[in-house]
Every structure is written in structure tokens, then in C-alpha cells.
Structure 1
């Protein structure tokens, strides 16, 4: 299919998360999104022309785009900043595992070619779309909302504990938090130059991730594997990526230090693509080093997203800005998916100098961006530490400090 996933869903994330904030029960909003994109995915299986395919693809991207940033924001409501990376990684590693098994699942469903008069590719959309609708309906009943709306399975002490956590994360609720996002919050996020560096890291990660997803079967074939064996050989890199994501995120939360666990995976990406480029397309003659390098790149690609996303969430306040900032970064990151979908040129296979070269450049430049961010956060904390708390409270009211959010001199950036 000529339409790539990211070309249709990189825009709606920010307005989607702003809309999510107006829902008392996030499960309803996320459930609506999932059911909607499940219905549209099902309809993709019955389209008859390119115009219909284009229409459902745009609608699919529109509804699908709000899910991941909304889910990340929902996680931030339940967990303290130091516990967030592991939770996001557990959620995000599903992406790695889907990459491991989606090809085999699609290949199995495609064998239904001719059943009911439908081609095999149509059955892929019909069955996976119907399953998505079922999962979306279940969200209305089983997806958690806020602690205060979870009295069926939390007792009063547990709810109080979680609400106190939220109080601490918000710097103290000196006034009732506005449900609606203000233009002040949007402007504060959009004028925060650090958000653009964090978003760039996600863009680089997405470019490498999508490039790998679209070319990995071709790479395994270049190593001499054929048919089902070529598909099976794509599984270990994705599984290694999922394990790596949880491992690095757990360490990041354990030490409550984000930068090393963004930089280390990026180093793996740089190392892996350097090895691949060094083989100069001779993959079949160097199966061991080539396959090791592919695994290394996946072990770097998949931890980078949850680490960077949690770094973003940790360094934005209050919750309105976290909702906007997380959605903005994921939105910009999806642009990398567009790049990654097209940077591996068929005519250059199996060496793919453009694709592998750009992946190497993305990994290296993202690493530099992470180091710049770390230096800026250290410097900002040093400046904020020059005034004592009593001096700060003499200069600003509690309401002013709350409105300043992460720009408050009491705020300390997570390194």
C-alpha cells in the first residue's frame, strides 16, 4: 500500500490531549477513539478505489493519533515522576512486540484469500479492525480513570495517598485546577525551546523505528533467509528491543536520572548502524555481525521513546502543560515516521547507503541534543538554587508560583 501510517496522524495529537483534559472520565474519550479507529480499520477492508482508501486512511490516522499521547498523560496522573519511565516502557514495548509478530499474523490471515469473496489483505483489516472495536468497548468498562473515580477497587486510604501524590506533583493545589487548557499554557509549551530538542529526539527515534519496520524483512532476506524463515528472523530484534526498553527504563526510575538512559540507547543505535554500514551490503557473507548489529539497533531504538517521553513529562508543570507537551513531542516525533518510511530506497538495496546513513546521523544528532538538554537543565537548576525558598516566597505569591509552573524558581528539572 502506498499510504504510510505516519502521513495521516502527525497533526491531531495536541488538540486531542487538550480535549482529553475536558473529560471527567478519560476512559470514555480513549474508548471513543479506539472504537472509531477500529470501525474505520474494518471499513478499510471493503474499500473499492483509491479515493475510498485515502479517505479511510486519513480518518484512521485522525482517531488513532490521540491514543498514545492520551495514554501517556493518563499514566502521569497515577504515578510519581520517578516511577513514570518504567510504566511508559511497559506500555510502549507493545509496539516492539507488535513488530515481532504482526508480520506472521498478517501472513497467516492473508491465507484466507478468497474466503467470502474477499482478498487476503482485506481480511487483515476486517479481523484486526473488529478486534480493535471489541477492545475499545472494553475500555468504557475496565480502563481506569482518576483515583477519585476508582472507588470500586481502591479504599479511601489508597485514594487519599494517590491524591496527595497528585498534590505534590502539582506543587500544591493552591487553587482549583482549571479543566480547560488556557492559551497561556499552550504558549508556555510552544515557547519552551527545550521541548523542541526533546521532540527532535523522538523524531530521530521514530525515523529509525519506522525505517527498521519497513526494511527488516528485506534485510533478513539479504542475509539469505527466505519465506517464513525471513519473517521469523525479524522476531529476535523486536523482542530484544522490548526487553531493552523495560531494562533501561527500570534503571532510569531506580536512579531517577533520565539523560544516561537516553544517551546509552542512542549510542547503541549509532554503534549498530555503524557496523551495518561497515559491512557494505555483504550481509549474507557476514550474517553473524549483521544480525548482531540489527539487534543492537533495536535495543537502542525502543528504550529511547519511553525515556524521552518521561523526561518530557517530568520537566513540565502543571498537568495542563504536561498534556500539551507530551502530545506536542509525540506529534513532532511522528514526522520522523514519515521520513523513516521513505529513506530506504529500493534501488539502493541491499546496501541502503541513504537509509542507513540517515539512521546513523539521526542517532548521532539525537545524542548531541540529549547532552545539550542535560547541560541546560543543570544550569537552570543552578540558577534556581541561587535564591532560598523564603526569598522566593517573599517575592512571589503561591498563586503566581503555581501559574509559573516549570518556570517557577522552586521548580527543579529532572536531569
Structure 2
């Protein structure tokens, strides 16, 4: 199989207009080489009025050489990715700083016992899971997504600040619930925004660049907690309260900045994009993603039914869950786990930093190769293999952790090197294999189901099992193995479906279905090809 060379290819090859007829011997070329039609696995917007370009638009795209296209996307990178990465960094710090607050005395001050802490973790995920799809349906109604995203960030910043003044576990439960309400829309919304700017062959590296900030949040969270906790007693507040108060205020400021700094769409980005650059981004998006719309309530109901009955989304969600359960389990409990290796509270905060840095680097490397070869399954398989290996070692050695501190700490690094590449891979795979009508809601549905792993991760590290945590390590191992199996299954089904669809000519398909029927089918159209 020949593959695009590097990340400088202009999107995933697609067939448009009269070139859509599929033949096993047909070849199309791009600057990275040629692919057979069986290997061209992505075709969106089956209708000329929605998915194809006019002759004038095709000629304009053809006039843009690869160097110009790369310059345009690098320009977008500099504007879009730093803002999304910063906001996701803020979101993850605000979500996980409860773990840092715990070892600074939060549970003692709030008189929490037993599984009270685990309940506080899990409550966050109830609205977070339920509201991801509705939030993305609201997002696509906004002409300027920056305003909606900024409002979400401001609201959750206020909630985090309020967490710093709660007086009992009930107050903590309430703030965690509302944190889930407002954070629910950010990740699926950000994934959708990225898919609106980049073609399929370029999305995973960009999604990983944003998601790497999730890993770095663990590093920053430990450093910030180490510094802020020294404010213990200032203003009559304990150090753990200042962690929430100061980080919440920073989130509010980030939300205000988002309203002005986050790029909206190519058509609205006239200040920093030249007219030709904006046209190129719009036309290339139409070519590789389609031009579907989802404005009527009737269409939205149809889309909802289509999403709920889409088999691939459940397997993709299982891939996502393979990361969510172990990631949240570690993120909420790593300071405690490292402290139980024999380190002081301050040193435990600092020692959480290196594993997260390794996770961020791993996510970027994994995405680079996944985009280079436009093949997601190996990226997921390698990552889940690392997770299985690391938690197998931790499961076996944690019973004698005092004699295996270096080994266990090393495999904590390996675990994070495995879990962090998975969500951007699953998100890119989902975005590339949904049509324009279902992409926003489908992405949100996949992540909402996948984030059930967050509830699992909230309960698998039980204080009564410290320091061995057999339930935590064993469950994480099993989830990763399930995700690996799901990725293999997806790859096989995509190949089988593409081969079956390639056996039909476009002419016979259009004789059988009307344009409206093909448009309504979205990715289920026999003209659509799945990305591997």
C-alpha cells in the first residue's frame, strides 16, 4: 500500500464530481504518491450540490501548490492550536486538581470518609456524559464558536473558585456536578472545531497537539499545587482551598480571552487570513468533508437516530474508554499513589510531573505516524499495548512496592505514554468516518459514551486497597485490552465495507437512489469510503 509521504499532503485523497466512480484498478494521485481506489478510504458529501466542487472551485484548488497549502495550514496552526491547547490545559487542571487537594488535607477538613472522595470524582461525569451531545448541537448553531466556548470556560472557572470555599462534602458534590455541566461541551466542541479547519489526513496530529496539554496539565497541576499549597493559612484559608481559588480565577480570565482569541471559521477569519487563503480552506473543507447542514429540528431528530444506531460509534467509544478509565484513575489518584511509594507530600506533588511530560510527548509522536500513514489502528494498538504492559507490571509488583519503587515509578511513565495517544486517535478516526451532517453530534456521542470510563476510573482506586490497588490496576489492564480488540474489529469492518461499496459503480448507485436519499444516508451512503 502506498501512503502519503509526511504530513504535508493536502488532506486525505477524495473523489469528487465525475471522478467518484469506483474501480479497483483506478488510481488517483496526490503529491505523496498514488493510491488505488480500494485504498482511498474516505469519500464524503455524495451529492454534487453538497460534496462536490464547482469547476471554478476545482480550478482554484488546483492552482494552490503544496507549499502554499502547507503555509496556510501552518498559519492556522499558530492561531488555533495554542488557544485550544491552553483552554484544554485549564480544563484538565480544574478537573484533576482535586487529587492534589486531597493530599493537602481536603478530605480531612471536609470530614470525608470511605468512598466519599470517589463519589465526588464520579459526580462530575454524570452531567459531563449526558450533556456532550446537546452541547455540540448548540455549538453548531453559533455563528462564532469562540463566544460559546468562552462562556463555558468562564462558567466552570466560577465553579472552581467556589470549590475553594465549600465547607462539607455536600458542597463539594454540588460544585463537582456543575463543573461537569460546563466542561461537558469543551472537548467534543474542540474536536469539532479542529475538524472544520483541517482535512482528514491532518487532524490527529492537531488533535494530539491539543490533547497533549491534558498530559501537561498533570505536570502543571503538580507544580502549581506544590507552590500554592505553601499559602496555607493566608487569609484564614487552608492551602488546598487556595489551589481551587487561584486556578478558578485563572480559568475565568482564560474564558474572557477565548472570546477574542479563538478563531471561528475560515470565512470569518478575515483579519489574519488573506482572501485566497480563506477560499482555499473553505473549498478544501467542502472537498474533503462535504457541505452537509443540520438546521431543521426534523434533521436533528434524524441525525440523533442515525447516531444512536451507528455501530462504529460504540466500538470507537470503547477505544476511547480504553484510555478514559486508566487515565482518570491515575489522574485523580497519582499523587496519593506516589506518596505511598514512600515520598513526602511535597515530593509526591513534584514527582507527578515527569510521567505527564512523557505522556504528552508520546501523544505527539503517535499522532505524527498515524497521520503520516493515514492508518489509525496501529496507533491505537501500540498505545493500548503499552497500557496493558504497564498495568500488568504494576498489578504484579505493587504488593511489594517498597522494594520496587523505581520499577513501579518507571511503569507509571509507560502507562501514561500509552493512555494519552488514544483519545486523539479515537477522535480523529470518528471525525474522519462521519459525514458532514452527523460529525458534530457523532463526535460528542462517541466521547460521551467513552467517558463512562471516567466513572469507572473514579471508583477503581479504593483507599481500602492501598497501596496495591488490585482493582485499579486490573481494571485498567482489562479496559486497554478491550480497546485493542475494538480497534482490530473496526479496521476489519472498514476494509470489508469499503470493498463491498467499491464493487458498485456510481452510475448504478445513482440510478437506485435519489440525491436526497444519498444525502440523508451521510456516511452510510454507498458512495462513502471509510478511513482506516
TM tier, shorter chain? over 0.9
The answer to whether residue 209 in structure 2 is matched with residue 94 in structure 1 is no
Residue of 361, 371, 382 corresponding to 2:478: 361
User: Equivalent residue for 1:328?
Assistant: 445
Correspondence for 1:208: 326
Q: Does 1:179 align with 2:295?
A: yes
Match of 1:144, SS state, is: coil
Match of 1:381 among 498, 510, 513: 498
Q: How does 1:122-161 map to 2 (within 5 A)?
A: 122-161=241-280
Contact 1:8–1:57 at 8 Å: present in 2 too? Answer: no
2:39 is matched with which residue? none
Q: Which of 311, 328, 332 does residue 193 from structure 1 map onto?
A: 311
Report if aligned partners of 2:461, 2:469 keep a CA contact under 8 Å in 1: yes
Distance 1:361 1:304 in 2: 15
Match of 1:107 in 2: 226
Cα gap change, 1:37 to 1:86, in 2 (>3 Å): same
* 351-360 or 256-265, which deviates more: 351-360
Deviates more, 1:387-396 or 1:64-73: 387-396
8 Å Cα contact 2:191/2:207 also seen in 1: yes
Whether contact under 8 Å (2:379, 2:425) holds in the other structure is yes
- The alpha-carbon deviation at position 236 of structure 1 amounts to 1.6
- 1:41 Cα offset (Å): 1.7
Q: CA deviation at 1:46?
A: 2.8
Residues 1:125 and 1:287: Cα distance change in structure 2 (over 3 Å)? closer
> Alpha-carbon deviation of 1:49?
4.4
CA contact (8 A) 1:96 1:242 kept: yes
Q: What do residues 232-289 of structure 1 show as CA deviations (whole Å, max 9, x unaligned)?
A: 2222211111000000011111111111101110011011111222325222322333
Q: Which residue of 1 aligns with 2:382?
A: 264
Q: CA 1:129 to 1:221, structure 2 compared with 1: closer, same or farther past 3 Å? A: closer
Q: Supply the distance in 2 between the matched residues of 1:77 and 1:372 (Cα, whole angstroms).
A: 28
Say whether 1:310 aligns with 2:310: no
Secondary structure at the residue paired with 2:438?
helix
Equivalent residues of 1:12, 1:66 under 8 A apart: yes
Q: What residue is the counterpart of 1:163 in the other structure?
A: 282
Give 2:125's aligned residue.
6
Aligned residue in 2 for 1:41: 160
Q: Which runs of 5+ in 1 are unaligned?
A: none
**Cα 1:126/1:281, change in 2 over 3 Å:** same
- Structure 1 length normalisation: TM-score? 0.94
Partner-residue secondary structure (3-state), 1:10: helix
Which of 493, 510, 518 in structure 2 is aligned with 1:393?
510
What CA distance in whole angstroms lies between the structure 1 residues aligned with 2:223 and 2:475?
28
Q: Equivalent residue for 2:200?
A: 81
Q: Distance in 1 between matches of 2:473 and 2:265?
A: 44
1:346-371 alpha-carbon deviations (Å, 9 max, x no partner): 22222221111111111111111111
Q: CA deviation at 1:295?
A: 1.3
Count, aligned residues: 411
C-alpha distance in structure 2 between counterparts of 1:52 and 1:287, whole Å: 37
Contact 2:223 2:353 in 1 (8 A): no
Q: Deviations over 1:291-339 (max 9, x none)?
A: 2221111111000110011111111002x31111111111122221111
Q: CA offset at residue 79 of structure 1? A: 0.4
| Residue number in structure 1 paired with 2:373 | 255
- For the aligned residue pairs, the C-alpha RMSD in angstroms reads 1.7
Distance 1:47 1:276 in 2: 35
**Are the aligned partners of 2:226 and 2:350 in contact in 1 as well (CA < 8 Å)?**
no
> What is the CA–CA distance in structure 1 between the aligned matches of 2:397 and 2:241, rounded to whole Å?
39
Instruction: Tell me, yes or no, if structure 1 residue 61 matches structure 2 residue 180.
Output: yes
SS at match of 2:225: helix
Alignment correspondent of 2:525:
408
Unaligned runs of at least 5 residues, structure 2: 1-106, 108-116
1:154/1:27 CA distance change after superposition, 3 Å: same
